[in-house]
Structure 1
């Protein structure tokens, strides 16, 4: 089941899954010295209880001037109201500010750019279905094709399906009144030809290989705390504070006139009602570290945070008997298009290939059954799209069983997030790197078994590591993967051997260092 709000709250799986959800997010074990709490009473109490007592978050990241994209128009009064809605410690005060903020989005004085920018802020702030319905109606009245992605942000909310369908239809009529959806032969006309380039219908046009300066994962050396910052459409940001063993705490980001990013969000209150503030500052002369402090009654306990990418690669793992499908010497000669012609993806320096969004998926010329598969990949940073329109691809083992590749950095694992066996198994651990980071996926695959008559006697099995973290442990894959779990259950497994397929799903994803080796003991 896809997430139904930007924070993954209120997820309601439609049916049981083969692999349970990971539950609370836990940070990877620290690689440096363990946490040592101060011995004096006050500081010791803070360090032992800080994760239960955050009432209000203030994170200020100061960066050198940004060149990633032009600042969208914003209204100062609306921005101030949105910051109040994000950071008030009182739930009632936040709800009041959200209502005022969403109502103000209807003002005829707002430019299209400002309305889009603040409407995306509202998506991050909204906590009720009534608030989301109001945002949907506002989005459906924005005469700009970029609003298609904004409306589509609500397509997977279970209780808003009718509202989404109505808004989608209204926006289509607004953008292309009376436009035909099929040609003279009854063939469906692609939406991109009706609405033109936009983040929903042509997401690859918004994929970028340059960093925005803010997004990514930051952590202290002892693993006590991490902050993940995610770029959202129209220069909005969301983030979450991760505390070992506790539920992530959400934040909303606001780009500041001085080039900094302000992150705000309500936290938690301890029994004595004290207010705690967390602040962070990234020096203007570098983008490698910032400090974070717990402040109360004038006392500070600093924690140094550094960039802490989860993306890890292991080129040294390639065994001598591996079949190399891609490295710095091969180009695309070991892959083909579906019709058998030469693969037509882009070849880049260093043995890197990149999806050409109009070239289709590619298949290995060699075929495999039981196998150990390794590949490295990275997603572009997409500042306009969201969800399945962001970094989407997939690795199809035996051209049948998809291990999902999609930019789900900063999201709780689900059955369609990165590393999922699509609609079958949720990753058992969070191991997703940020966009632009090179990541690795290693799969130990045991093909399904068949008797002499062609009847399946045992299902396929997989163990999967992403970035060195085990996310599936010898799980059964009972049937092929498909666009839905129900459709997959109707499909029949293929007999080995079959090719490895790399999916083209309309985004620019890059790959390198792909090899397949015999499965030990097979």
Structure 2
């Protein structure tokens, strides 16, 4: 998505005592503070309804050099969220900040209780942010139930026939139950990946709900360093992190400055064995596409000439997703998944896709879709930018194989997925003699290398193990999981040597 020309903003550095102390004694420990340029208008995101005193306390909790001081500030910040003087919008905004700052389960439990008392359907996404924490399952269930009673006291959850009533009909539009309503094709101006030209360092900035931001600094050979972002009144973004103690000074961030010349970049200062080394960081998207890879013998399922004629709905009727200019299709959240009319076994599969930017949702409610090879084995598509790979993140063979490398592009970037698939083998009696196998590249980076897929994928690993593999050929399925995801340039070719 082309970005409008960048707008220069004045450089301002924090004036808090803790930041000045760290800057004066940077050889002992450090505080990160980065200022990014506003790259485009944030037309879809209103300015946060923040409380200045709470914001200052949150910034202290994010950037104090002492762990004890950070913990004290976090406790004060979370306690202040209970103030009856806060508006609902302010409470939601700062509660999401607290989600990013929290380091202990006790802090998360406190945030859950606060979230469960916010009389606004947007709080359903806030509560759901904690549902995958192993030690908070009971707390999450309790908070979810309490919030449901607060929002819709006495509401029935099933109809007269005993059929479950969809939560969206009970609670109305909100980022958890109707995430597609919050999918946007506009850039927020900050999120994305920034890197220096030599690949020494990258910064990934992720938009969180209620105009909050998190980021991580990726330094070659080192563990990622987390940052929390604060939108500033002048339109800039301040990123703060706790810093670290070091032994040799290698890859140590000292400071970052934004040039005032209107470039869409910012600079960062490293300290390498006592020598200051400024680095300029520019946008460095990981998303890459390879239209030239399509072989002459490929079966083209989607390009600028095909429309949706090579796809169908589950019942065989014509595919009902949205057709856009340039051979792009977009999920219609109410239209169901679509299937290729042609069926395949062993195959080389290529597709391009991109996620919308969702400023209200999180996790599985953000950019969720999937590519089902032989309508059986899912390669997950979900906005996992800025997250470590796991068994349900983008590129995972769902609940079976974690991507071996991080290759995820940011929302709005066109990305590619290429799959070399070998179907399971069966004998004449229909007994499986060999499992399916896959090699997968995302954005040109190999994330799975000839892995076995022992069983179909499903909502859980245990459920998948109970399912039986299908005999080839079968259709390719593009999943509708309730988000707006776009696709283009889809083809299937014979697998070499098969």
TM-score above 0.5, yes or no: yes
CA 1:454–1:51 in structure 2 vs 1: closer, same or farther (change >3 Å)? farther
Looking at structure 2, the residues matched to 33 and 275 of structure 1 have their Cα atoms a distance apart, in angstroms, of 28
Cα distance 1:31–1:264, how it changes in 2: closer, same or farther (>3 A)?
closer
Deviations 1:228-249 (A, max 9, x none): 0000000000000000111000
Question: Is the 1:35–1:222 Cα contact (8 Å) retained in structure 2?
Answer: no
8 Å contact kept, 1:63–1:284: no
Q: Deviations over 1:88-130 (max 9, x none)?
A: 0100000000000000000000000000000000000000000
**How many aligned residue pairs are there?**
498
Note if contact 1:204-1:506 (Cα within 8 Å) is conserved in structure 2: yes
Q: Which residue of 2 aligns with 1:156?
A: 132
> 1:280 offset after TM fit, Å?
3.2
Counterparts in 2 of 1:470 and 1:440: CA distance versus 1, 3 Å: same
Superposition RMSD on alpha carbons, in Å?
Answer: 6.2
Q: Contact between 2:8 and 2:262, CA under 8 Å: does it hold in 1?
A: no
Measured at CA, do residues 165 and 514 of structure 1 come closer, stay the same or move farther in structure 2, by a change above 3 Å? same
Q: Tell me, what secondary structure is at the counterpart of 1:172?
A: helix
Deviates more, 1:282-291 or 1:395-404: 282-291
Structure-2 separation of matches of 1:248 and 1:448: 39
Moved more, 63-72 or 156-165: 63-72
Measure how far apart 1:288 and its partner are. 2.6
- 2:185 maps to 1:209: yes
Contact 1:57/1:267 (<8 A) preserved:
no
Q: Contact conserved, 2:312 with 2:339, CA < 8 A, in 1?
A: yes
Q: Render the CA deviation track for 1:433-462: whole Å, top value 9, x for unaligned.
A: 000000000000000000000000000000
5+ unaligned residues in a row in structure 1: which ranges? 1-24
CA drift at 1:64:
6.4
What's the CA shift for 1:267?
2.1
- The change in CA–CA distance for 1:178 and 1:36 in structure 2 (over 3 A counts) is closer
1:213/1:287 contact within 8 Å kept: no
Q: Is the 8 A contact 2:7 2:37 kept in 1?
A: no
- The answer to whether the Cα contact below 8 Å between 2:3 and 2:40 also exists between their aligned partners in 1 is no
Report the CA distance between 1:66 and its aligned residue.
Answer: 3.9
Whether the 8 Å contact between 2:29 and 2:243 is mirrored in structure 1 is: yes
Equivalent position SS for 1:98: helix
Which residue in the other structure is 1:14 paired with? none
Contact 1:33 1:222 in 2 (8 A): no
Q: 1:44 to 1:224 in 2, by over 3 A?
A: farther
- Quote the Cα distance in structure 1 between the aligned partners of 2:450 and 2:10: 32
Counterpart selection for 2:167 from 176, 185, 191: 191
On the 8 A contact 1:63/1:285 being kept in 2, the answer is no
Give how far 1:417 is off.
Answer: 0.2
Distance 1:469 1:346, change over 3 A: same
Please state how far the C-alpha of 1:299 moved relative to its aligned partner. 7.8
Higher alpha-carbon deviation: 172-181 or 271-280: 271-280
Q: Distance in 2 between matches of 1:368 and 1:189?
A: 37
3-state SS of paired residue (2:280)? strand
Q: For residues 367 and 135 of structure 1, do their structure 2 counterparts lie closer, same or farther at Cα, with a shift above 3 Å needed?
A: same
* 1:61-102 Cα distance to aligned partner (Å, 9 max, x none): 455664342112100000000000000010000000000000
Once residues 75 and 305 of structure 1 are traced to their aligned partners in structure 2, the CA distance between those partners, rounded to angstroms, is: 32
**Structure 1 residues 391 and 233: CA distance shift in structure 2, 3 A:** same
CA distance in 2, matches of 1:172, 1:32: 45
Q: Contact 2:205–2:215 at 8 Å: present in 1 too? A: yes
Task: Evaluate the alpha carbon distance shift between residue 27 and residue 144 of structure 1 in structure 2; reply closer, same or farther with a 3 A threshold.
Answer: closer
Q: 2:452 is paired with a residue of what secondary structure?
A: strand
Unaligned runs of 5+ in 2: none
In the alignment, which residue of structure 1 is the partner of 2:288?
312
Query: Quick one: structure 1 residues 105 and 468, their matched pair in 2 at CA, closer, same or farther if it must change by over 3 Å?
Result: same
2:322–2:331 Cα contact (<8 Å) kept = yes
User: CA 1:57–1:394 in 2, change beyond 3 Å: closer, same or farther?
Assistant: same
Aligned counterparts of 2:7 and 2:157: Cα–Cα separation in 1:
55
- Following superposition, the deviation at residue 294 of structure 1 comes to 3.4
- Cα distance, 1:415–1:42 mapped onto 2, change above 3 Å: closer
Give the TM-score normalised by structure 2.
0.92
Q: Distance in 1 between matches of 2:8 and 2:359?
A: 34
Structure 2 match to 1:87: 63
8 Å CA contact 1:220–1:306 kept in 2: the answer is: yes
Name whichever of 32-41 and 311-320 sits farther off. Answer: 32-41
User: Contact conserved, 1:98 with 1:126, CA < 8 A, in 2?
Assistant: yes
Say if 1:225 and 1:241, in contact at 8 Å, map to a contact too: yes
Residues 214-363 of structure 1: pairs in structure 2 closer than 5 A: 214-271=190-247, 278-282=254-258, 286=262, 288-294=264-270, 300-363=276-339
Alignment match, 1:6: none
Distance in 1 between the 2:477 and 2:93 partners?
38
Displacement of 1:313 after TM fit?
0.2
Q: Distance in 2 between matches of 1:414 and 1:501?
A: 22
Residue 259 to residue 168, structure 1, CA distance change in 2 (3 Å): same
Distance verdict in 2 for CA 1:497–1:128, change over 3 Å: same
Q: Is the 8 A contact 2:8 2:37 kept in 1?
A: no
Contact 2:439 2:449 in 1 (8 A): yes
Structure 1 residues 375 and 272: alpha-carbon distance in aligned structure 2, compared to 1, 3 A threshold: closer
Give the secondary-structure state (helix, strand or coil) at the position aligned to 2:480: coil
1:328–1:50 CA distance, 2 compared to 1 (3 A): farther
* Pair 1:494–1:131, CA change in 2 (3 A): same
CA distance 1:41–1:520, shift in 2 (3 Å): farther
Partner of 1:411: 387
1:450/1:299 Cα in 2 relative to 1: closer, same or farther (>3 Å)?
closer
Relative distance call for 1:45 and 1:115 in structure 2 (3 A) is: closer
The 1-side partners of 2:267 and 2:291 are apart by 33
RCO greater where, 1 or 2, for CA within 8 Å and sep 6 or more? 1
> Does 503-512 or 29-38 show the bigger shift?
29-38
Cα distance in 1 between the residues matched to 2:9 and 2:186: 33
